[in-house]
């Protein structure tokens, strides 16, 4: 039995039912989220730690720990023989047997006038330069170490080309090569009173081919003279023979120079066909090194350093003096190999 007011499910259908145009019932409101519970703060106390912090080591314990670490990692030990310029007396001592072999037995170096090198205070040595890999600088250094009554470290004011070769840069820095800047020269010579050497011919001297041997190139703009005047130190001219024949250059390969990135690509008796062994394969020419009487630079007033014409004049006179000595020494030589 059905009734008019009954729905299909048996429920009453009133006038407000959606089927008869009534309103939809409002949805139930969503439950409000509960506020997050606050995390209680924690103030650490001494007894909250598992164990107290250890006491710092005593100075004696610290030194012992450092000593143990040095024993475990000897390669990490710094070179304590380095001075402010990067020169390592330890490196020089390690290379000394090799340098002395060349000095005493291979080149059989003969030295004259070593007493002209000052025993103290600053001095600037000025020499001719030659050879594909010039051996003159290390032989002059060994002459001072072996023959002088008061041996002193010798620093070389050199060009910056070696910075592009990391291995070479490290070795020559430890041997005493210092970038040739005005501030470096003044500190070496004037402030610290050290012994320094410069080769005014620069790369022009070391790249000379064999038929140009013992013909001095131009000494730049005379910067070494200006340096000595400002530092008020003497200039000791030096003439070296034998280096031109130790590693003579027969020709230059411009194309290979550009491809290799070297400052020059010479053809010598050992390079490039002997490769990396070439630098040690010098010809056994007889060396003679003559230290000439010093030029007193205190005779020139400091303002001359700002006169380019006068500086060039003094530079040319020193260059001519070295050239005359070279001509005399070569003329007296009877044999390239025996002297």
pLDDT in tens, 228-263: 999 999 999 999 999 999 988 888 788 877 777 776
Q: Report yes or no: 153 and 265 within 8 Å, Cβ to Cβ.
A: no
Inform me whether the pLDDT recorded for 275 exceeds 50. Answer: yes
Higher pLDDT, 208 or 103: 103
**Angle (deg, nearest 10), helices 166-174 and 89-100:** 90
d(CA 205, CA 326): 14
Query: Which residue from 256, 261, 328 is spatially nearest to 292, judged by alpha carbons?
Result: 328
Return the minimum-mean-pLDDT range out of 71-80, 104-113, 298-307: 71-80
- Does the pLDDT at position 79 exceed 90? no
Q: What are the φ and ψ backbone dihedral angles of 6, each rounded to 5 degrees?
A: -95, 140
Q: Record the tokens describing residue 216, joined without a space.
A: 């001095």
Residue 293 predicted with pLDDT over 90: yes
- What number is the average pLDDT over the span 146-173? 78
- Residue 83 C-alpha from the chain's centroid: 13
Instruction: Lowest mean pLDDT of 130-134, 221-225, 309-313, 334-338, name the range.
Output: 130-134
* pLDDT at res. 190: 94
Instruction: Pick the more confident residue, 208 or 324.
Output: 324
Element (H, E) at 235: strand 235-241
Mean per-residue pLDDT of the chain: 81
pLDDT reported for residue 153: 94
Q: How far apart are CA 171 and CA 76, in angstroms?
A: 18
Banded pLDDT at 49 (limits 50, 70, 90): very low
Distance between CA atoms of 319 and 323, rounded to whole angstroms?
Answer: 6
Two structure tokens written together for 28: 């139930």
CA distance 325 to 219: 16
What's residue 48's pLDDT?
46
**Comparing 196 with 1, which gets the higher pLDDT?**
196
CB of 268 closer than 8 Å to CB of 275:
no
Q: Is the pLDDT of residue 76 over 90?
A: no
Q: What is the pLDDT of residue 196?
A: 96
Q: Is the pTM of this model over 0.85?
A: no
CA 35 to chain CA centroid, nearest Å: 68
Residue 5 in this model has a pLDDT that exceeds 50: no
In angstroms, how far is the first alpha carbon of the chain from the final one? Answer: 146
Q: Residue 171's pLDDT is what?
A: 80
pLDDT of residue 266: 82
Q: How far is it, in rounded angstroms, from Cα 312 to Cα 215? A: 19
Which domains does the chain possess? 89-331 (3.40.1130)
């Amino acid at each position: 039995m059905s009734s008019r007011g009954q729905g299909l499910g048996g429920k009453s259908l009133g006038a407000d039912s959606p089927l008869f145009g009534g309103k939809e019932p409002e949805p139930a409101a969503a439950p409000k989220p509960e506020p997050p519970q606050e995390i209680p703060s924690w103030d650490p106390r001494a007894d909250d730690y598992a164990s107290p912090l250890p006491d710092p080591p005593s100075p004696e314990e610290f030194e012992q720990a450092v000593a143990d670490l040095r024993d475990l990692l000897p390669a990490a030990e710094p070179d304590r023989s380095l001075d402010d310029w990067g020169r390592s007396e330890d490196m020089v001592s390690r290379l000394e047997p090799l340098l002395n072999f060349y000095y005493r037995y291979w080149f059989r170096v003969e030295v004259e006038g070593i007493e002209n090198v000052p025993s103290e205070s600053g001095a600037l040595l000025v020499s001719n330069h030659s050879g594909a890999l010039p051996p003159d600088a290390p032989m002059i250094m060994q002459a001072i170490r072996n023959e002088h009554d008061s041996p002193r470290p010798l620093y070389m004011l050199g060009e910056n080309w070696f910075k592009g070769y990391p291995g070479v840069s490290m070795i020559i820095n430890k041997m005493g090569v210092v970038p040739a800047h005005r501030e470096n020269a003044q500190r070496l010579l004037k402030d610290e009173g050290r012994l320094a050497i410069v080769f005014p011919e620069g790369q022009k001297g070391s790249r000379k081919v064999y038929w140009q041997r013992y013909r001095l190139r131009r000494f730049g703009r005379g910067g070494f003279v200006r340096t000595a005047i400002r530092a008020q130190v003497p200039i000791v001219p030096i003439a070296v023979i034998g280096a031109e024949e130790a590693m003579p250059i027969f020709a230059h390969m411009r194309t290979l120079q550009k491809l290799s990135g070297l400052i020059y690509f010479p053809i010598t008796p050992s390079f490039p066909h002997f490769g990396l062994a070439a630098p040690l394969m010098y010809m056994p020419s007889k060396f003679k090194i003559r230290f000439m009487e010093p030029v007193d630079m205190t005779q020139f007033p400091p303002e001359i350093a700002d006169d380019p014409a006068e500086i060039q004049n003094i530079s040319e006179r020193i260059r001519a003096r070295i050239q005359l000595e070279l001509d005399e020494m070569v003329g007296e030589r009877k044999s390239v190999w025996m002297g």
